[in-house]
A and B are shown apart, each in its own frame.
Chain A
Amino acid sequence: MISLISYLIISLVLFIVGLVVMISRKNIVAILLGIELILNAAALNFVAYSRYVTNNLDGHIFSLFIIVVAAAEAAVGLAIVIRFFQIKETIHIDEATQLRN
């Protein structure tokens, strides 16, 4: 049967890839993609532990709320990106040097 460690490895790979995407990309939307990957890695861990270790559904609830927060974060983050583009005409992260224009 599939063991807990295989889920943890997948989650780890997702987390690392998300981190690399966040560090290496200069496009703000790409950075948000990396954040989504990291959040998913965390949610996957919650569900895996709730199945193999705690044996109740609290992990499911937690990952549900992670998905909710991810949706809210993506909505606000992308709105900021769009506003930023309207002001600066670019979405390069290095251009974001001022708190207000």
Chain B
Amino acid sequence: MFAQLLFLLSAVLTVGCAIAVAVTKNIMHSCIFLLGSLIGIAGLYATLGADFVAVTQIMVYVGGIVILMLFAVMLTGGKDFVSRAQNLLGLAPSMGNKWTYGIGLFVGLVFLLTNIKLLSNIMKSYPAKTFGNEFPSTVSQIGHLLVKEHVLAFELSSVLLLGALVGAAIIARPRKQ
């Protein structure tokens, strides 16, 4: 009962905020809606039993990426970023107009429904498993996987992050024009 409620809340938050990202004009508001969408996805992870991934999502996205994006908007926007903001309804001619988007949406929906109809037969062979104690603590299992099976990816990710840090610091470092 509560799981369904949590799922519903998270799904509404995720999808609603994602659509709001697309339709708001102000880039700052878009960032905040993205924040809501990411929190909603963390809730969805929680309903899937992925507690560690859910908290990681909050930690990295809410505490890190969104703040970084807000900083970047602040550093680049200047005073005229509201006027230059664009949304779905104020597009340049080459990007299509309301009609092309409407037709695209319709075609997409038809495609989606067909696919769901096709996929739902395949999905039936994967019945929704009911989980007892199969994920007692994802944290220690993830730890074991990171240290044993995926140790190379674990170590390489730190090198990737080092590369990102050095590269981004070189690019963004203040210098005399």
* Cα A30 to Cα B75 with chains together (Å): 14
- Tell me which residues across on chain A come within 8 A of B168, comparing CB atoms: 75-76, 78-79
Output the nearest chain B residue to A10 by Cβ-Cβ distance: B11
Residues of B with C-beta under 8 A to A29? 27, 31, 69, 72-73, 76
Query: CB of A96 within 8 A of chain B?
Result: no
Q: Which residues of B contact A91 (CB under 8 A)?
A: 76-77, 81
CB-based contact B69/A57 at 8 Å = no
Residues of A within 8 A of B73 (CB): 29
CA distance A26 to B11 in the complex (A): 28
Bound CA–CA A82/B7 (angstroms): 38
Spell out A's residues near B (CB within 8 Å): 1-10, 12-14, 16-18, 20-21, 23-27, 29-30, 32-34, 36-37, 40, 43-44, 47-48, 50-53, 55, 57-58, 60-61, 63-65, 67-76, 78-83, 85-86, 89-92
Q: Which of A6, A14, A71 contacts B60 (CB 8 A)?
A: A71
B-side binding surface: helix, strand, loop or mixed?
Answer: helix
B164, A76: Cβ atoms closer than 8 Å = yes
The 3 closest A-B pairs by CB, nearest first: A72-B164, A79-B168, A79-B172
Q: Assess whether A68 is in contact with B126, with CB atoms less than 8 Å apart.
A: no
B69 in contact with A78 (CB, 8 Å): yes
Q: A37-B18, A40-B38, A47-B45 are in contact. Are A83 and B129 (CB under 8 A)?
A: no
Majority-rule SS of A interface residues: helix
A36 and B34: CB pair below 8 A? yes
Interface size for B (C-beta < 8 A) is 81
Give Cα A3–Cα B88 distance, bound, in whole angstroms: 32
Contacting A64 at CB < 8 Å: which of B47, B76, B142, B161?
B142
Contact partners of A71 in chain B: CB under 8 A: 60, 64-65, 161, 164
Q: Which chain B positions have C-beta within 8 A of A52?
A: 126, 128-129
Instruction: Indicate if B110 sits at the interface (CB-CB under 8 A).
Output: no
Cα distance, A51 to B46, chains bound together (Å): 11
* Chain B positions 121-143 with a Cβ under 8 Å from a chain A Cβ: 123, 126, 128-131, 134-135, 138, 141-142
* Proximity bits, B13-46, A CB within 8 Å = 1, else 0: 0110011011000010011001001100100110
List, in ascending order, chain A residues with CB within 8 A of B9's CB: none
27 contacts between A and B (CB under 8 A): A1-B3, A1-B130, A3-B123, A4-B128, A9-B116, A14-B14, A16-B108, A24-B91, A24-B95, A29-B27, A29-B31, A30-B86, A32-B69, A37-B34, A51-B50, A60-B50, A63-B50, A67-B57, A70-B65, A71-B164, A75-B164, A76-B171, A78-B68, A78-B72, A79-B167, A83-B171, A85-B76
